[in-house]
Structure 1
């Protein structure tokens, strides 16, 4: 994993905070502009940086929440090549949700099960019920039930 210069990291964090503010008021297009500006500050190869993981997580989240499931799938799949992404329950959740919405149910089940294994049923609590309901059709119930 490569390290960023502190001034570059500060710029990236500032842009991502601005993006988060836009996302917080459902202005996903403006949020994405900020996140991509932050991405452009990463030296190549961008996927070597921890910041790439959380930038792409924010991008994929904005894609998902904005209904652009193809872009969400693509950006979250790219995030899986970044440091500490594999095993991150949130990334697996959003990637699985995008794949579910795209009717790629086998991949959706795989990613949603990874989210469940990493964070338990709690990760689905604030999400539409259809995702956990679908996952339960693909997994054996844990001891004691769902």
Structure 2
């Protein structure tokens, strides 16, 4: 492991501690500091997926959905970002909050297809938005 990766992990851990305390702004700043440690091209590193996903989650929790959407768009180009069920769930939620029901359904459906109903734990209202899709898949 390279030295930047140790620093990265420490900052990410500190950010997660802030998240547990619901200090999303402090968390976001730590995650952004962690992302700055990733060498260019950032999108070639798995750590970028982790950092950008965490930053997007902070923006979502802070109800800054336009910023969350920008981060979630970037993460699709990072390793594992496009297939990550949690990322797809957040994308669907953000599009729903921004008033784009078609993109919301696409994101939520992709989350369900990649992670099943477990990814919606605690987020049942979003699972209800695609209940027709879920019931159709249960019949096949």
- TM exceeds 0.5? yes
How much has 1:140 moved relative to structure 2? Answer: 5.5
How much has 1:144 moved relative to structure 2? Answer: 4.8
Q: How many residues align?
A: 140
For the pair 1:133 / 2:135, whether they are aligned, the reply is no
For the pair 1:64 / 2:63, whether they are aligned, the reply is no
Cα pair 1:49 1:82 within 8 Å, conserved: yes
CA distance in 1, matches of 2:117, 2:134: 13
How much has 1:130 moved relative to structure 2? Answer: 2.3
Cα pair 1:109 1:138 within 8 Å, conserved: no
- 1:23-62 counterparts in 2 under 5 A? 23-62=19-58
How much has 1:105 moved relative to structure 2? Answer: 1.2
| Cα RMSD after superposing both structures | 1.7
In structure 1, which of residues 85, 89, 96 is the aligned counterpart of residue 85 of structure 2? 89
Cα pair 1:98 1:108 within 8 Å, conserved: yes
How much has 1:28 moved relative to structure 2? Answer: 0.7
Q: SS of the counterpart of 1:141?
A: helix
- 1:1-12 counterparts in 2 under 5 A? 6-12=2-8
CA distance in 1, matches of 2:121, 2:79: 27
TM-score, normalised by the number of residues in structure 2: 0.92
How much has 1:125 moved relative to structure 2? Answer: 2.2
CA distance in 1, matches of 2:115, 2:32: 28
Cα 1:121–1:139 shift into 2, 3 Å: closer
CA distance in 2, matches of 1:27, 1:52: 22
How much has 1:137 moved relative to structure 2? Answer: 4.5
